[in-house]
Structure 1
Amino acid sequence: MSSQKTFVPTGHPRRVSLIGSTGSIGTQGLDVISKAPENFSVAALSGGYNLDLLAQQAVKFRPAIVGCASESTDDLASAIKRAAADASVTGYEPELVAGEGAATTIAGFSEADVVLNGITGAIGLAPTIAALEAGHLLALANKESLIIGGQVVKQIAAPGQISPVDSEHSALAQALRSGTPDEVAKLLVTASGGPFFGYTYDQLRDVTPAQALAHPTWDMGRMVTTNSATMVNKALEVIEAHLLFDVPLEKIEPVVHRQSIIHSMVEFIDGSVIAQASPPDMRLPIALGINWPHRVAGAATPCDFSKAASWAFEPLDEDVFFAVKLAKQAAAASGTHMAVYNAANEVAVDAFHEGQIQFTDIVETIECVLDNYTPINAELSVETVLETDRWARAHATKIVGSKA
């Protein structure tokens, strides 16, 4: 990713800091770590507002430092004291940090080897940068930080310093080992299709938040699940694949695969297609991400080929689900257009769940904000990205407010 020396991960056991430890990725990451103590230990934890769960995690794994999103460490300290008493643990008193910068502090903690960034949204950018600048291996589930940071993040990261945790990008990373970069013809990013595959655009208008959260395969948080329903999640993954693997946008295609067994594929110039297959279980890509480039024995259950099964692949209807096409256009336009795309989406998703706008208004809002955006005439930097993010959120808020 940069001209500096290729990043070489540490040996074992690896000390892991988890950002978003109380969320879906974080809890599964801790499950992976607990089952492979010879491979991993927990260096630090950062959670949101679920202090009871965070405290239980802290008491179980004994990290040296724990952070939370709350403004004060007092409630976290009390929660850890209660959890320690319940577990009959004495003498555990970690360093505590709280507030807006807690996750960034945890990501930069010097006693870690690996940072698993599992939070959702643009707020993951600062922790991503902190982890990279601290020289840690970054196991990245927070796709938004790479997407909005783009070249800024790539300039900070050494080659090999980012290991993908999204199942699709983990699959691509595995499949890409089958050839050299100049032998790659195409990346095929699979999509479950979400709960509305096969709908017409008119049918999408009246879907409810509850329907949008009824994903057929994965158990994810509100933002990611909604993004899967709109195909914004697949759009972000296409851009992430472009940035991670330096493959041109025109050579990256989404493919609908409802069974979610093939997690992505690489087509090579000789016509060979290499696919990575496993039952849908995020513990596999998490384990590989924090242990990259080595596998973790028993991380997940493999496919059972003693039973009959059929796997189907279908094209994505980009006239109905045009989020991917819109993202490719944005990524090609400037280094900050994807920051606009992501910010507008986050505002619109929240507005949809608050009953302010219809489902189809989510991607339409992204398109409208992009149409009204003129890139800042300044050097691309973290400050430029954040300023762009603030502008896009304010503009998107006005748009959704006019529809309420």
Structure 2
Amino acid sequence: MIHCGKKHAVVACIFILASFLICSSNNPWLQNSVTRKIFLHPTTVPPVGHLCRGKPAQNAITPLNDNRTFIISPYFDDRESKVTRVIGIVHHQDVKQLYCWFCCQPDGKIYVAKAKIDVHSDRFGFPYGAADIVCLEPENCDPTHVAIHESPYGNIDQLPRFEIKNRKAEPFSVNFTVCISTMFGNYNNVLQFIQSMEMYKILGAQKVVIYKNNCSHLMEKILKFYVEEGTAEIIPWPIDSHLKVSSEWHFMQDGTHIGYYGQITALNDCVYRNMQRSKFVVLNDADEVILPFKHPDWNTMMSSLQEQHPGSGVFLFESHIFPKTVSTHVFNISSWNTVPGANILQHVHREPDRKTVFNPRKMIIDPRKVFQTSVHSVLRAYGDSVYVPMDVALMYHCRLPLQGNLPRESLIRDTTLWRYNSSLIRNVNEVLYQTIL
């Protein structure tokens, strides 16, 4: 018991009581046993007219002071409870404690909540991986911004401040968004990129989100065209400014920090970025196109699949390699020969299945049913994942062969892509004439 009987001791008693309350707020018995969150009294009350303090985050990847945590973006998520889910990258061993500093409306007070750090299971051996930094939002608080800090104490003016996206549900602005991650290695496969973009549009996509690390000057012109057209959204992705990146998907004991230029983090950010604005999200690379067999486009295909699989929000399409090294003389368009990159219309022979090898898959998802995704499957989602049969659709993947020793007669001729040749040729020519020809 603390006794404050004399006037001259009042100030000292107040100080002792305040210290006691602050210490007790960190008592684990006061933490929620499921979410491991704590809520403190306001640590700062901003001046009138300054409801959200701190430095606005300017970049797609923001390092914290520990240089072990990198913040991409926070998103409101009320599917299970009212939380702010921050997509980030963390060192899976070193980062043990983080806090969300919420700026609450309408009173403008700052509330601090302890985060649950959920490092995604598909890290493939690398020390850094995608992570969800999840904080339960305080009651009677509708935070518009949040800062992330290693401590519940500090100066908020020194912390980067992030806008919390997805706070308001809105009608879908598009039916299909394609997420491409990540563009790196001075990417210059210009012709195939244009063909893929035009195929996405023919099949039903209205938006393509590209996480761009770097590309050639010529490719920059193409990206600028699609941005101005309204099709492409470019997310700068300078991950190699912060971490030693690998161009491999698995750790090679070579001192690198994260695989494939942080591809998994980019994919998860793209899912949440489009959660409120796109009915479906397509997760694939720029050299891949999901080709329907039974339907003319993605809209009719997905309507049929959803009717057959009500409640499912994840549809996986088997990848098949159409090697660049095997081509046909059909659709040898002379004006395209000066453009760097593969002409997918000339690559219509696919490698046969190998009995001992599992073909990877890419996905079309309902983003509102997905919590965490990897590259070839989701890690956590509502409902079942559907493996779409080959007679419905496959993923056309035009790249270097995986079975390079096979003779041409052992490959399977598959001209499904040619169903779209008239529209594709016309659209590609229009893009080339407006950009580089």
TM-score > 0.5, shorter chain as reference: no
Q: Please state which structure has a larger fraction of its residues in strand.
A: 2
User: TM-score scaled to structure 1, two decimals?
Assistant: 0.25
User: TM-score scaled to structure 2, two decimals?
Assistant: 0.24
Q: Please state which structure has a larger fraction of its residues in helix.
A: 1
| Larger Rg, first or second structure (1 or 2) | 2
